A = this chain, B = another copy of it.
Amino acid sequence: MDKLTHRCESDKQDLNNRLKKIEGQVRGLQKMIEEDRYCIDVLVQISAVTAGLKRVGFQLMENHTHHCVADAVKSGDGEASIDELMKVIKQFSKS
């Protein structure tokens, strides 16, 4: 079974509100393509959506480190948890 992370309701709602906004922006990009909007304008908007997604990622990473990683360190399982975090930070930084 997949591993789970318990998130409080306000965090979940905040993350999903941002993701819903991003979903709307991706639909907006499709409309811009259909309407033959100028490439540079579409590219500026793609940069905005990418930056928004990265902010969601950083928010998650921050929550994860403050809770899951800190708990793992306290209970003596910090090494694996930190290695896993570093791996995803490298991947994220290249995307």
Binding site for B on A (CB under 8 A): 2-7, 12, 15-16, 19-20, 22-23, 26-27, 29-30, 33-44, 46-51, 53-54, 56-58, 60-66, 68-70, 73-74, 78-79, 82, 84-86, 88-95
Q: How many copies does the complex hold?
A: 4
Whether A43 contacts B26 by the Cβ 8 Å rule is no
Known: A36-B4, A85-B65, A92-B93. A46 touches B60 (CB 8 A): yes
Whether B48 contacts A95 by the Cβ 8 Å rule is yes
Whether B57 contacts A47 by the Cβ 8 Å rule is yes
Whether A50 contacts B47 by the Cβ 8 Å rule is no
Whether B15 contacts A33 by the Cβ 8 Å rule is yes
